[in-house]
Amino acid sequence: MGFSRDIFISYSHNDNDVPFEGQDGWVSNFSKCLKLRLNQLTPGMTGIWRDPKLTRTYDFSDALKKQLQNSAALVVIVSPSYMESEWCTIERREFCSSAKNKVGIEGKKPIFKVVKLPPEKSLPSELQDILGWQFYNEDPETGRYREIDPFLSKETYPKWFPILEDLAQEIKDILNNDPGKKSPEGPVIYLAKTTLDLREQYDSIRRDLRRNGYTVLPDCELPGVESELKSVIEDQLKKSDLSVHLIGQSYGMVPEGSNESVIALQNELAIARGESDFRRLIWLAPDQHPDDPRQIEYLQSLREDSRMNENADILEHQSLEKLKEIVYERLKSLQSKGESSTCDETKRVYVMCDQNDINEASQIADYLYKNNLEPELPVFEGDEKDRRLLHEDYLRECDAFVMYYGHAHELWLRRMRNDLLKVMGQGRCKPILANAIYVGPPGTPQKENLRIRELTIRQTEHLDPTSLKPFLEQVHRKHQTG
């Protein structure tokens, strides 16, 4: 790239101090490991430079300026001590002032933020919108932070090296970037920021997707003020084809000016995106036991509020590996849509009903057939297990659904709705074009009091299949745009 040094590490010397002579400090070990990995990924790399001798009396000479000006990238070790260091501020500003020709992928400045410990002060403007690599853990009982240091505790090896690998891969991409190189093609994933208790799972998915050539957003830090936060998330979602949300036992940070957490706001803005071909995957981490009333309420709304479930797949009691498998299924489905249009295929509608309502449901099926749809009705004869398997096949494969609620008990309706919600996380790959509940005769107080957010057609005095026109319009509209 025309620079004599590839990387300049800027750090506070407090972060490299050791209690006994002969030991290597945190920054020294970090620097050695990063250099080793980068030389493996990018043979012939010039090296990593850091000054182990800077003091307050040291003259910020032309030699040091030259090192910064000639470095292709800057790695800053963020900590409370870093924020108080005058020298770190000088180094950062000097690098930024000379970084006009140091442009990485899509114009990103080659500055990398390594967070050893979260600072108490706000980050300087040059570092606020840059993604960071967190080399610390939070004690769930005390809320205190502690550096991840495998050279002091071998138990932290499995956490340290994946983070270092992500950082090294990112630096490699920036250093080797061709200014004319395009971003990876294919679907773009918005991997919603999550809470600290799911950081390892988040990093694992992000790492896996990037290694397989997918673009993963957000590619910047999210602001801490609600108005700015919403603007950034909306912009990132517009560029995305799929959003993935990891929900743990913590409610998460509430940005300034908001009553909702960042987790909830990301989901709300993904819902507001509102396009039929945009899907959300919501993974409820297994074995969680939240004690925050806000998180308990939020989890309940995800499970029960139909608005939360619109154009979404709720994955519960599923492993992280199963989540990854489903994510790739969705991405393959999106890629297939981009390669070939399926608008000429006849769409299938599953008319769900109780056995006591099969005659009325058949009339609805006839109406759908006359309107160029392929209806499917449940089967009530034969082996119970086979009937259940057919029911699940229809839930996975049909494009739209009508639940006919006539003589059946309300519990039947609730069970069918739950079946549809569950199957979204059990292998269904394509979006639901439309979903309606047809409330037919006879009229009952329970039906009068029914409050459900799905498209609800009420014809409790007499059956009128033509009242399904709004449902048909929704199917055909999303069919044509899908």
pLDDT band at 337 (very low <50, low <70, confident <90, very high): low
The total number of structural domains in the chain stands at 3
Supply the pTM of this predicted model.
0.64
Phi, psi angles (nearest 5°) of residue 291: -115, -5
Among the residue ranges 95-104, 123-132, 150-159, 472-481, the one predicted with the least confidence is: 95-104
Which DSSP symbol is given to 241? Answer: S
Residue 78 pLDDT class (50, 70, 90 cuts): very high
Specify whether 34 is located in the same domain as 161. yes
Per-residue pLDDT averaged across 28-49, rounded? Answer: 84
Residue 15 token pair: 């972060």
Check residue 342 and give its pLDDT: 44
Q: Where are the alpha helices (DSSP H) in 305-377?
A: 306-309, 320-339, 358-370
Q: What is the DSSP letter of 463?
A: -
- Do β-strands 136-138 and 145-147 pair in parallel, antiparallel, or remain unpaired? antiparallel
- Give the end of a domain, one of 121, 153, 181: 181
Between these two residues, 420 and 359, which has the higher pLDDT value? Answer: 359
Question: Which token pair is 474?
Answer: 């929704």
What's the token pair of residue 382?
């034969």
pLDDT score at 178: 46
Strand order of the β-sheet with 188-191 is 215-217, 188-191, 242-247, 279-284, 312-316
Which residue range forms the structural domain that includes residue 268? 183-340
Give me the mean pLDDT over the 319-328 stretch.
Answer: 90
Do residues 207 and 315 both lie within one domain? yes
Q: What is the mean pLDDT of residues 79-108?
A: 77
pLDDT at 60: 58
pLDDT tens, position by position, 201-227: 999 999 889 888 888 999 888 888 999
Which comes out higher in pLDDT, residue 59 or 477?
Answer: 477
CATH of the domain at 234: 3.40.50.450
Residues in the chain: 482
Q: Residue 468 has what pLDDT? A: 94
Tell me which of 282, 308, 340 is where a domain ends. Answer: 340
Most confident of 20-24, 256-260, 342-346: 256-260
Give the confidence band of 1 by pLDDT, cuts at 50, 70, 90: very low
Give the phi and the psi of residue 106 in degrees, each rounded to 5.
50, 40
Same structural domain, 357 and 453 = yes
Radius of gyration for the chain, computed over Cα atoms and rounded to the nearest angstrom: 28
pLDDT-derived band at 426 (thresholds 50, 70, 90) equals: low
**257-273: average pLDDT:** 94
Of the pLDDT bands very low, low, confident and very high (cuts 50, 70, 90), residue 423 is confident
Same domain for 270 and 251? yes
Residue 266 has pLDDT above 60, yes or no: yes
Mean pLDDT computed over every residue of the chain: 85
What pLDDT was estimated at residue 196?
Answer: 86
Out of 181, 208, 223, pick the residue that ends a domain. Answer: 181
Mean pLDDT value of segment 154-164: 85
Per-residue pLDDT at 98 exceeds 80: no
Residue 77 belongs to a domain with what CATH number?
3.40.50.10140
| Rounded Cα distance, 403 and 86, in Å | 67
Give pLDDT, residue 30.
94
DSSP letter, residue 48? E
Peptide bond between residue 465 and the one before it cis (omega within 30 degrees of 0): no
The model's confidence at residue 12, banded by pLDDT at 50, 70 and 90, is very high
Decide which of 105 and 39 is more confident: 39
Same domain for 200 and 165:
no
Structure tokens at 66: 């030259």
Distance in angstroms (rounded) separating the CA atoms of residues 436 and 468: 9
Whose CA is closest to 31, among 5, 63, 62, 55? 5
Angle at 162 between CA 159 and CA 166, to 5 degrees: 140
SS3 annotation, 86-115: HHHHHHHHHHHHCCCCCCCHHHCCCEEEEE
User: Is residue 262's pLDDT more than 90?
Assistant: yes
**464: alpha, beta or left? (left if phi > 0; alpha if psi -120 to 50):** beta
**How many angstroms separate the CA atoms of 454 and 476, rounded?**
17
Q: Which residues contact 210 (CB under 8 A, 6 or more apart)?
A: 169, 216
CA distance 197 to 208: 19
Confidence band for 179, pLDDT divided at 50, 70 and 90: very low
Residue 307: which pLDDT band, with cuts at 50, 70 and 90? Answer: confident
Task: Give SS3 for 168.
Answer: helix
pLDDT for residue 177 is more than 90 = no
Is it the case that residue 232 has pLDDT exceeding 90?
A: yes
* Structure token digits, residue 29: 């070990």
- Kindly tell me if the per-residue pLDDT of 413 is higher than 70: yes
What is the arrangement of strands in the sheet containing 111-115, beginning at the earlier edge strand?
48-49, 5-10, 71-78, 111-115, 132-134
From the list 49, 38, 203, the residue with the least C-alpha distance to 131 is 203
Tell me what pLDDT residue 471 has.
Answer: 94
Q: What integer pLDDT is reported at residue 482 of this predicted model?
A: 54
For residue 256, the 8-state DSSP code is: B
- Mean local confidence (pLDDT), 462-466: 93
Cα 102 → chain centroid: 30
Going by C-alpha positions, the residue among 108, 87, 79, 83 that lies closest to residue 8 is 87
Q: Do residues 331 and 441 both lie within one domain?
A: no
Q: Which of 139-143, 187-191, 369-373, 394-398 has the lowest mean pLDDT?
A: 139-143
Q: Are residues 295 and 405 in the same domain?
A: no
Q: Are residues 388 and 409 in the same domain?
A: yes
Classify residue 151 as exposed, middle or buried by CB count within 10 Å of its CB (0-12, 13-18, 19+): middle
Residue 214 CA to residue 209 CA, distance in Å, equals 6
Instruction: Give every CB contact of residue 138 below 8 A, 6+ residues apart in sequence.
Output: 144, 145, 196
Regarding beta strands 132-134 and 136-138, do their DSSP bridges make them parallel or antiparallel, or are they unpaired? unpaired
Q: What pLDDT, on a 0 to 100 scale, did the predictor assign at position 153?
A: 81
Signed CA dihedral, 102, 104, 108, 110: sign only: negative
Is residue 238 scored above 70 in pLDDT? Answer: yes
Are 116 and 46 in the same domain?
yes
Q: Are 7 and 71 in contact (CB under 8 A)?
A: yes
Per the CB < 8 A criterion, the answer to whether 472 and 370 are in contact is: no
206 and 173 both lie in a single domain: no
Same structural domain, 402 and 466:
yes
Cβ count near 229 (within 10 Å)? 20
Q: Are residues 7 and 112 in the same domain?
A: yes
CA dist 439 and 448 (Å) reads: 10
